[in-house]
Structure 1
Amino acid sequence: MTRLAVIDFETTGISPGQGDRATEVAIVVVEHGQVVDRFQSLMNAGVRIPAFITQLTGISNAMLAHAPSAAQAMAEASRFVGDLPMVAHNAAFDRKFWQAELARIGDPA
């Protein structure tokens, strides 16, 4: 079986096209049905998290105050994934945020 990167984002809303940003990225690499590597990072995108998102995700503005920048977290996430195929539970949602956050740092991945 192929190695796969399984990705998940927490965000400030549902649409990066409307200014929503990622607040956390988590990735596991799966091979032969087993998790063989992990990456997780909060990310400070410089935007406030709405109260209802904090209630939903548990991620607060205070938690992001000292988190790595979104640019740093996404650069590390992109290197971690490399050229592995990616899958996600809500793939259309996660793909939009993956592409939007990488576009912000000039990474075409």
Structure 2
Amino acid sequence: MANQFEIVHDLLDLAGARWTVDVLSVMRDGKLRFNEISRAVDGISQKQLTQTLRNLQRHGFAARAAFATIPPRVEYELTELGRDFAASVRPLGSFAVRNQQSIEAARRNFDGSAA
């Protein structure tokens, strides 16, 4: 069993992964097929989308439903836990947008003084 710090680090790593927030944002509107998510997340490869969806499933944030139709159909949706996770990540995004100029200025100042 993971200790509390491990789970916090795991979830921060997941939230900070390149495509997680984009995929969460797209999935908040309900059930979507793989290709619908792929089209909605500009620039994501099939491999990256597959890995992101598997990570979300592994943590209990997304559910996958496969249907034995021709052609096969697979739908993904956020679980209740996934919707809660997405809502928890949103304030960090808002913070980043609100403070973008200050953060960029601090980086330029740091990078300039380090040279």
TM-score greater than 0.5 by the shorter chain: no
Query: Going by fraction, where is strand more abundant, 1 or 2?
Result: 1
TM-score, with structure 1 as normaliser = 0.26
Q: Which has the higher contact order (CA 8 A, sep 6+)?
A: 1
TM-score, with structure 2 as normaliser = 0.25
Structure (1 or 2) with the larger CA radius of gyration:
2
